[in-house]
C-alpha cells in the first residue's frame, strides 16, 4: 500500500503581494528614463538592403547577350571600353 503524506485541505485564494512598494517602483522608472536605445546596422545588412533596391533582371536581354557571346559576336572593342568605364565609375565614384 502507498502512503501519501503532505496533502493539505483546500486553501482560499489570496491576493498577490507586490515584491516592492509602489513608491520604489515609480522611483525606479524615473531613473531609467535617461537611458536610450541604440541600433547599429551591420555592413551585411546594409548590403542586403541595397540588393533589395536593385532593378529587376531583364531576362530577355540576358538571353540575347548569352546568344551573342556564344556566337562570338558580342565582344567588340567599343563594348569592352564602355563596360570598363562603367565599372570604374561604379567602383570608384560611388564611395
pLDDT in tens, the chain (95 residues): 566 666 666 677 777 776 766 666 555 555 556 788 888 999 999 999 998 888 888 999 999 999 998 998 888 889 889 999 999 998 888 65
Q: Which three cell numbers stand for residue 76?
A: 567588340
Beta carbons of 75 and 69 less than 8 angstroms apart: yes
Report how far residue 77's alpha carbon sits from residue 31's, in angstroms, rounded to the nearest whole number.
69
DSSP code, position 72 = T
Give residue 7's pLDDT. 65
Model confidence, pTM = 0.32
Amino acid at each position: 500500500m502507498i502512503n501519501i503524506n503532505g496533502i493539505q485541505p483546500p486553501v482560499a485564494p489570496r491576493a498577490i503581494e507586490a515584491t516592492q512598494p509602489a513608491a520604489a517602483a515609480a522611483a525606479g522608472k524615473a531613473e531609467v528614463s535617461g537611458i536610450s536605445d541604440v541600433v547599429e546596422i551591420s555592413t551585411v545588412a546594409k548590403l542586403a538592403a541595397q540588393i533589395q533596391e536593385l532593378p529587376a533582371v531583364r531576362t530577355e536581354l540576358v538571353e540575347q547577350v548569352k546568344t551573342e557571346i556564344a556566337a562570338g559576336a558580342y565582344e567588340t572593342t567599343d563594348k569592352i571600353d564602355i563596360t570598363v568605364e562603367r565599372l570604374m565609375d561604379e567602383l570608384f565614384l560611388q564611395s
